[in-house]
Amino acid sequence: MGARKKISADRRKEARKTMYFAKMNNVPTSPRKMRYVADMIRGMEVNKALGVLKFSSKEAAQRVEKLLRSAIANWEQKNERKAETGELYVTKIFVDGGAMLKRMRPAPQGRAYRIRKRSNHVTLFVDSKNTNEDQN
């Protein structure tokens, strides 16, 4: 690895130590459906977001709720204290497309239609409100 790349890699690694996130890979839901759920909680306070996800009728909401609880636990682990009400917020959440399973469905006159079973990767960042104000 070159010197410039090593310096930038070290800088990224140091910045990552102050970020609190959770990541879920290869979720067997289409990215479009998952983005709808992600848009519901983006920027929300954590306890309110958990309530929204708990009572949402979307199937993807259960998976995002589990991911959010994991991100909260990661924050608590790194800060060595419990999160208080109104302290943590969902700062960023994004959904990327994952691997696609390609299947064939029989069609009329000896043809076949392709079915694409999509998956996605979800990354969720949480942070406290006062940390965000210090940076700005």
Q: Pick the residue with more confidence: 80 or 119? A: 119
Claim: this prediction has a pTM higher than 0.95: no
Please, what is the angle between helix 59-79 and helix 31-41, to 10°? 50
Q: Which CATH architecture group holds 20-135? A: Alpha-Beta Complex (3.90)
Whether pLDDT at 15 is above 90: no
Write out pLDDT tens, residues 38-69. Answer: 999 999 999 999 999 999 999 999 999 999 99
Every domain of the chain and the residues it spans: 20-135
| C-alpha distances in Å from residue 87, one per residue of 16, 49, 75, 111 | 20, 13, 11, 57
Supply 133's token pair: 């104000």
